[in-house]
Amino acid sequence: MKLISRLLAASVMALAIGSAAEARPFTAKDMVTLDRVGDPRVSPDGRYVIYARRVADYDANKAKTELWLIDLSGKTPAAPRLLDVSAGGGVSSARWGADGHSIYFLSSRGGSMQVWRGDVGVAGAGQVTKLPFDVGGFQTSRDGRKLLVTMAVFPDCPTLQCTTDRMAARTAKKTTGVVHDRLFIRHWDEWADGTRNQLFVLTFDEKGVTADSPVAVMHGFDGDTPSKPFGDETEFTFSPDGKEVVFSARLAGKTEAWSTNFDIYGAPADGSGQLTNYSEANKAWDTGAVYSPDGRFIAYRSMKRPGFEADRWQIGIHDETTGKDRELAPDWDRSADAIAWAPDGRTIYATAQDVGQTRLFAIDVKTGKVTPLTGAGHVSGFDVGPKGIVYAQDDLDSPAQLFSIGFKRGARPVQLTNANADKLAGVEFGGYEQFSFPGWNGETVHGYLVKPVGFDPSKTYPVAFLIHGGPQGSFGNLFHYRWNAQTYAGAGYAVVMIDFHGSTGYGQAFTDAISQHWGDRPLEDLQKGWDHALKSYSFLDGDRACALGGSYGGYMVNWIAGNWNAPWKCLVNHDGIFDARFMGYSTEELWFSEWENGGTPWTAGTTYSTFNPADHVGNWTTPMLVVHGGRDYRVPLEEGIATFTALQRRGVESKLLYFPEENHWVLKPQNSVQWHDEVLGWLDAHTKPQ
């Protein structure tokens, strides 16, 4: 598959470039202006695939999403074409109707986010819902007669008008004080307003439009579906007969900020009955219910340890006939990111991180045998049709493209898109390779080396040493839109990235190893990985290197500043933790800090003080650039200000780059370019001759 992808890309590139002399390096502006392909959806008959294509408007500092379609019915797939339904405003969450030719999608072209409907063969689109609040997500029933939508309302309100009136009363008040009596007063980048994401069912009439009065199926439930801030439509669905709504949610109460106990609930679609908790026995996370084609089984993802957000996602199978549950492939030491059934119900497909890659796997429902379907690269999404699977895949030197693969054993993937061929014409990427070495406890640790653009083996190059966040994450073989290694390679840097203990995709024990060990085991891996890279790649200039990281990576940069600053000419800390104990009191998702440190900040025997960067400021001497977002409530702004204060007070060369409207990430295109300009300028000032 990788070979096919590279041959296609190479042929297009050869035509566009003409000669190697015309090649230019990849830049941050290239990155933020690329079209982003994803969310493929196969039509019920398998003839078409629709997908989303995010298009950036750099001058306007925003982006919109278009819908594209590919006809798969010929001997070779047709060229993608822009669907007419994209006209008149951005679209998202496009899904096929039960009839196989209508397409439902979300759009705000009417003034608020509502469900719209178009047709493959008909120009234009019609508005389906006209609800008083934005629709956050939707699902249609298998028979196409019902529509399930989610809206943010006050859960105790018996009607939508009640929520409207309450919001109007708030706006009319001349006072601005807000009273809270529970945590999650703010989450990710928003302050709580008392509303909850709730599910409503609408029924199509003979004209194909929905009834005026949606039925509340979660009325009074103190929780959100989809979950905040990153939940989606995989957290709710109809039963095959459309009579029940099944969803995942966490009961909030007073414990929401330190609980990961999401359960799978069922509710009558007509709103006539009580909720049923189908996973009450498991006090950890349950989500993602997916019915088998015959409706007998429900597959779902489940964790086992309460309070741990990075536990292994196992796949559970619930038998509706017997009422029994079992784990599918219990010996498969990987964590399933997304799951879907094969048309015959004999196989479940899943994506999972795997030794620096994110692959698509086929799992036999009867035997639990796991077979990888893709090789090197990062599968970011997929959909199963009647004839095969369509998936999106990217890697370290290619943004996502769509591929299709049949069900037959040995089937080879076919590339369906070549998005950004024009924008990347003449662009040269740095070559890359994966390496491994003995890390903490003698265990194998992996990393990636990306060569600078225009690499000359007779020369030496400055190094950007990138440290990933999470900490249960990975800087693997993927095309990242915030920490993209090619932006550094394009600026003349070699890039080294280590998947230290705590990283995902190497087995759950490897991931678990970082909890309560933030400052020792991963630091040992980073140190040994750095030594290994210097010995293995003679073109790395160890005297011209800077370490950079965000979130946990920013924490590690602060930790390095006090415990391993010798190799580094400069440091970059993006939204990193300065004081672990204060973080335990000020972050919103308390379960994270409490699990990672072994308890609350006032509990004896925890690691808040054991690995606290604030306690090692006396050793700080390395120049540091500090970056923080004003709407970052995961790692609050005060952590960045404290870092900058410590640096300035100690007389260490330092700068603070502050983005008032950005959250834990820098998302606006022009802000991202500014971020890269400042970061690369900082690296250049400390590693390159002036």
Q: Please, what's the largest Cα pairwise distance for the chain? A: 75
Q: What is the pLDDT of residue 507?
A: 98
> What value does the mean pLDDT take over residues 381-405?
97
Q: What are phi and psi of 599, to 5 degrees?
A: 145, -170
Task: Give, in order, the Cα–Cα distances in Å from 462 to each of 6, 424, 625, 684.
Answer: 28, 25, 18, 9
What's the Rg (C-alpha) of the chain? Answer: 25
Q: Which one of 285, 307, 329 terminates a domain?
A: 285
DSSP 487: H
CATH number at residue 491: 3.40.50.1820
Q: Which one of 285, 306, 337 terminates a domain?
A: 285
Residue 16 has pLDDT above 70, yes or no: no
Q: What angle do CA 640, 645, 647 make, to 5 degrees?
A: 100
Q: Which of 90-99, 188-197, 451-460, 513-522 has the lowest mean pLDDT?
A: 90-99
Q: What is the pLDDT of residue 7?
A: 37
Give the amino acid at 115: V
Annotated catalytic residue, options 219, 517, 628, 664:
664
Closest CA to 526 of 491, 552, 489, 544: 552
Q: What is the pLDDT of residue 354?
A: 98
User: HEC states along 305-329?
Assistant: CCCCCCCCCEEEEEECCCCCEEEEC
1 inside domain? no
Predicted confidence band of residue 88 (pLDDT cuts 50, 70, 90): low
Q: Which of 66-70, 85-89, 178-182, 615-619 has the lowest mean pLDDT?
A: 85-89
CA pair distance 537, 187, nearest whole angstrom: 43
CA pair distance 380, 353, nearest whole angstrom: 10
Q: What angle do CA 151, 156, 158 make, to 5 degrees?
A: 80
624 inside domain? yes
Closest CA to 106 of 136, 64, 142, 132: 136
Q: What is the pLDDT of residue 458?
A: 96
Q: What is the pLDDT of residue 19?
A: 41
Residue 28 has pLDDT above 80, yes or no: yes
Residue 46 has pLDDT above 70, yes or no: yes
> What value does the mean pLDDT take over residues 249-270?
96
pTM of the predicted structure, to 2 decimals: 0.94
Handedness of CA 668, 670, 676, 678 (dihedral sign): negative
Predicted confidence band of residue 122 (pLDDT cuts 50, 70, 90): confident
H helices present in 247-363, as ranges: none
417 inside domain? no
631 inside domain? yes
- Contact by Cβ (8 Å): 528, 499: no
> What value does the mean pLDDT take over residues 574-586?
98
The neighbour count for residue 224, using CB atoms within 10 Å, is 24
Q: Tokens 């006939």 belong to which residue?
A: 321
CA pair distance 337, 317, nearest whole angstrom: 16
> What value does the mean pLDDT take over residues 468-485?
97
- Which regions of 239-296 does DSSP assign to beta strands (E)? 244-249, 263-268, 276-277, 286-291
439 inside domain? yes
- Contact by Cβ (8 Å): 444, 438: yes
13 inside domain? no
> What value does the mean pLDDT take over residues 141-168?
95
250 inside domain? yes
Closest CA to 10 of 403, 491, 429: 429
> What value does the mean pLDDT take over residues 452-476?
97
Q: What angle do CA 660, 664, 668 make, to 5 degrees?
A: 60
Q: Which one of 251, 268, 285 terminates a domain?
A: 285
CA pair distance 613, 622, nearest whole angstrom: 14
Q: Looking at the 3D structure of the chain, how many domains does it have?
A: 2
Closest CA to 342 of 365, 366, 322: 365
The percent of residues above 70 in pLDDT, for the chain, comes to: 96
> Which residues constitute the domain of residue 245?
129-169+184-285
Residue 212 has pLDDT above 90, yes or no: no
Annotated catalytic residue, options 5, 86, 335, 551:
551
pLDDT digits (tens, 9 = 90+) for 620-644: 999 999 999 999 999 999 999 999 9
Annotated catalytic residue, options 632, 672, 676, 686:
632
> What value does the mean pLDDT take over residues 124-146?
93
Q: In the annotation, is 632 catalytic?
A: yes
Instruction: Say what the alpha-carbon torsion angle 16, 19, 22, 23 is, to the nearest 10 degrees.
Output: 80
User: HEC states along 339-400?
Assistant: EEECCCCCEEEEEEEECCEEEEEEEECCCCCEEECCCCCEEEEEEECCCEEEEEEEECCEEE
> What value does the mean pLDDT take over residues 431-443?
98
Closest CA to 139 of 57, 244, 219, 46: 244
Q: In the annotation, is 468 catalytic?
A: no
The percent of residues above 90 in pLDDT, for the chain, comes to: 90
Can you read off the two tokens belonging to residue 415? 């590339």
HSE (CB half, 13 Å, CA atoms) of 400? Answer: 23
572 inside domain? yes
Q: What is the pLDDT of residue 521?
A: 98
Q: What is the pLDDT of residue 2?
A: 42
Predicted confidence band of residue 9 (pLDDT cuts 50, 70, 90): very low
